[in-house]
Amino acid sequence: MRKTVCIIALLFGSLAAPGQVKLTRENIDDVLSEMTLKEKATLVVGAGYKSMLAGITGADVRVPGAAGMTRAISRLGIPAVVLSDGPAGVRIEPARKRSKATFYCTGFPIGSLLSSTWNPEMVERVGAAIGNEALEYGVDVLLAPGMNIQRNPLCGRNFEYYSEDPLLSGVIAASYVNGVQSEGVGTSVKHFAANNQETNRFWNDSRVDEEVLRGLYLRNFEIAIKLSRPWTVMASYNRINGIHTQQDKWLLTDVLRDEWGFDGLVMTDWTGKRDTPAQISAGCDLMEPGEKSQINELVRSVKRGELPEEALDICVRRVLELIVKTPVFNGYTPSQAPDLKSHAAVAQEAAEDGIVLLENRSRALPLERGSVVALFGVGSYQLLPGGTGSGHVHRPYVVNLDEGMAGEGFTLLPTLTDLYGRYIDKNKPKKTMLSGMLGSAGAPEMELDRSIVESVAGEADCAIITISRQAGEGGDRHLEGDFLLEEKEKRMIADVCEVFHSLGKKVTVVLNVGGVIETASWKDLPDAIVLAWQPGQEGGRAVARILSGKVCPSGRLPVTFPAGYFDLPSSAHFPYEYSGRSSMAGGGNAGDDVPNVGYTEYAEGMEVGYRHYVLSESPAPSYPFGYGLSYTTFETGTPVIDGNSVTVTVTNTGAVAGKEVVIIMDPFLQTFGKTRLLLPGESQTLVLPLFFPAP
């Protein structure tokens, strides 16, 4: 008898009594039919800021510092899922109450450096390392990559983004997503879409012609989604042509799903309650961070017959389909101890692969081994490894340039080390709760007295000057003292170059910046210029290995450095002078009728970045898209188009090993690829897929 009962139970297990069904990969429809209306509404609304603020409140959550969670429904075996930032490394609290352990995460280079590698394989390895840290710390979905088109050099979040070109941006994003998701952790490609400024970001209306929207601002997301199938998409704060993206059915359902075939989940960016039923109807499945009032609003709206329950069911199903993929649902036990040492090596290698050599006159670089180096600039002793905001990372350490140089066997001048060390200690910003969570700028540049330069020049073989720039979420950059050098920076470069050149000694400028700055007016003064971007926690070591010649620079620009800011047509439609409320404050609209604040006309159309120089007469850029020098030389054969790929052979014709980037433009970017490290005389034939030929 017992046996018969067991068999019957097994056969009809799925017909278990109501309320006993537990979620599996196979029974989502059964669970959906079991759910009450309140449970459905609960599942599409996040659990609030509890985990993000746990470092301050001490709340007992699974991953303190994670940006958000979904809500569990234990009756149905539905766990809460953890969502955490960010693109340059997992952002969670590095310490927890009631634990002596630490939870540091590797600080990888910023997005703009990753795209400067032009190396999908390298970026995929970075993604895998970040994905592993997410997995081992209990994060189910990483809120990355940030991939908006760099429409204008002064967007505060360009550091997180990849390029002015949709193909490069989309392919790099896809590589990152494939890397992270290879670890069984989800991603969220963001911020969908046309979120290209921080000023008034919660309300700003991006007014974009549909052809331009599709050809530029959606194109990179389309490429990334078709090449990598991200688990989720994050709908941005802003409006497009008058409609908030988070409730734009054309964007989230007609284009994203019906045209592109996206089969994952759409979540909001971290928005307060808006029109929740409209968001659900448009195909936005998950409200983050979430608040109870959204649950009640949905229940009311369905009961009043305003929101069809079927529309809610569609979103609930997509939340369930996400949950059954997650590590927590599949019973994974995080080790809480990822291999940070091996990940640091990946971060260093990626930084070395993306650093761009902009100038190298009379072979100033690489430096002679064992040189005595006069190191100027606050940034030489206080590297900025990454930007601020949700893209911040609690790193175990940061290698500054002075440390990296010493590690490479160079001798530094104690006079300068002491001088800058004391200045930084005195002038670095005090740590606050906010800067603890979101990072901060460092000490401002020091006024360097020429007498100091003159007093040390005789002791050194050469000089290095670091110029630093910080930027971050919630505010855009400005022209004066940001895009343009400050007077004290111009004086420092001029003085050091005059004094050291008078002694026949060379000068290198290192740019530790999150975005494009003005270079044309001063780039002829030094002998060499190295663009280090914000190279992550291993940055000082990576830059030093480039300067020493241990590594041959192979980065190429993913974005144009214009000769002048106003050469770019978008400069007429960007809030570079706006000094109103930071949009980090969220909340109300800064003014619908204020140009470039309430709304921004994308009047430049397709003329973004290098496309402007292709499509219009304009002064040549200071450094063009795709530009970068090497310590060796290469010969690149004639590319041969064969169906939907291009074959091309590259030979190292120089004296040192190096990597070459092949970039095929016609006139827009058609495809690209990077060789492995080629020894002198060695060749490699690349087969470059014509992913998505630019129209």
Instruction: Show which residues are catalytic.
Output: 269
Contact 584, 440 (CB under 8 A): no
The reply to whether 190 sits near ligand GLC by the rule CB under 6 A is: yes
What's the closest the beta carbon of residue 308 comes to ligand GLC, in angstroms?
30
Contact flags string 352-391 toward ligand GLC, x per CB under 6 A: --------------------------------------x-
**Residue 502: C-alpha distances to residues 206, 376, 415, 497, 505 (Å):** 52, 17, 21, 8, 7
| Window 150-169: contact mask with ligand GLC (x via CB under 6 A) | --------------------
Under the criterion CB under 6 A, does residue 140 sit at the interface with ligand GLC? no
Count Cβ atoms below 10 Å from residue 98 Cβ, excluding itself: 6
Asked if 222 touches ligand GLC (CB under 6 A), the answer is: no
Q: Is 194 in the site for ligand GLC (CB under 6 A)?
A: no
Span 455-484, contacts to ligand GLC by CB under 6 A: 473
Nearer Cβ to ligand GLC (288/408): 288
To 10 degrees, what angle do helices 340-354 and 120-136 make?
150
270 binds ligand GLC (CB under 6 A): yes
Site for ligand GLC in 381-440 (CB under 6 A): 390
Instruction: Annotate each residue in 12-41 with x if it binds ligand GLC (CB under 6 A) or - if it does not, as one string.
Output: ------------------------------
| Identity of the residue, 270 or 420, whose beta carbon is nearer to ligand GLC in the bound complex | 270
7-13 CB contacts, 8 Å cutoff, 24+ apart? none
The number of residues making up the chain comes to 695
127 half-sphere exposure, CB direction, 13 A CA radius = 35
**CB of 92 or CB of 223, closer to ligand GLC:** 92
Output the smallest distance, CB 389 to ligand GLC, in A: 7
Q: Are 270 and 179 in contact (CB under 8 A)?
A: no
Residue 604 in 3-state DSSP?
coil
CB of 62 to ligand GLC, least distance (A): 17
Residue matched to tokens 């940061």: 398
Nearer to ligand GLC, 32 or 437 (CB): 437
> Please, what is the minimum distance in Å from the beta carbon of residue 251 to ligand GLC?
17
Q: In this complex, which beta carbon is closest to ligand GLC, that of residue 131 or of residue 569?
A: 131
HSE-CB for 558 with a 13 A CA cutoff: 36
Which of 61, 143, 457, 509: binder of ligand GLC (CB under 6 A)?
A: 143
- Between the alpha carbon of residue 634 and those of residues 70, 656, 657, 661, 686, the distances in Å are 52, 11, 10, 10, 14
Residue (of 176, 184, 179, 108) closest to 146 by Cα position: 176
Nearer to ligand GLC, 148 or 163 (CB): 148
Strands 265-268 and 243-244: unpaired
Classify 188 as helix, strand or coil. strand
Q: Write down the least CB distance from residue 85 to ligand GLC, Å.
A: 5
Supply the DSSP symbol for 33.
H
16 or 585, CB closer to ligand GLC?
585
Q: Supply the minimum distance, in Å, between the C-beta of residue 78 and ligand GLC.
A: 22
Spatial distance between the Cα atoms of 355 and 360, rounded to a whole number of angstroms: 14
Minimum CB–partner distance for residue 551 and ligand GLC (Å): 32
The rounded distance, in Å, linking the Cα atoms of 201 and 597 is: 8
- Burial tier of 384 (Cβ tally within 10 Å: 0-12, 13-18, 19+): buried
Q: Is 269 in the site for ligand GLC (CB under 6 A)?
A: yes
Min dist. Cβ of residue 235 to ligand GLC (A):
11
Instruction: Return the residues of window 634-693 that contact ligand GLC according to CB under 6 A.
Output: none
Shortest spacing between CB 404 and ligand GLC, in angstroms? 30
Contact map string, positions 49 to 68, toward ligand GLC, x by CB under 6 A: ------------------x-
Site string for ligand GLC, 87-126 (x = CB under 6 A): ----------------------------------------
Q: Could you give the CA distance from residue 662 to residue 670 in angstroms, rounded to a whole number?
A: 11
**What is the C-alpha separation between 234 and 186, in angstroms, rounded?**
12
Which residues are CB-neighbours of 64 under 8 A, at least 6 positions away? 51, 54, 55, 92, 93, 96
Of 137, 126, 264, nearest in space to 192 by CA: 264
Residue 209 burial (10 A CB sphere; 0-12, 13-18, 19+): middle
When the beta carbons of 85 and 476 are compared against ligand GLC, the nearer one is: 85
Shortest spacing between CB 67 and ligand GLC, in angstroms? 4
Q: How far apart, in whole angstroms, are the C-alpha atoms of residue 638 and residue 657?
A: 22
Best CA proximity match to 130, nearest among 83, 69, 183:
183
Tell me how far apart the alpha carbons of residues 675 and 651 are, in angstroms, rounded to a whole number: 10
Select 65 or 536, whichever has its Cβ closest to ligand GLC: 65
Binding to ligand GLC in span 516-545, by CB under 6 A: none
Return the number of the residue (160 or 604) whose C-beta is nearest ligand GLC. Answer: 160
Task: Tell me the β-bridge partners of 599.
Answer: 205, 595
Nearer to ligand GLC, 231 or 270 (CB): 270
Detail the DSSP E strand segments found in 532-660: 599-601, 634-636, 640-642, 645-652
Tell me the two tokens of residue 120.
Answer: 């999908």
**Total site size for ligand GLC, rule CB under 6 A:** 9
Quickly tell me which residue has 């190429």 as its tokens.
Answer: 556
By CB under 6 A, residue 85 contacts ligand GLC: yes
**Least Å from the CB of residue 473 to ligand GLC:** 6
Encoded amino acid at 468, one letter: S
The residue ranges that bind ligand GLC (CB under 6 A) are 67, 85, 143, 190-191, 269-270, 390, 473
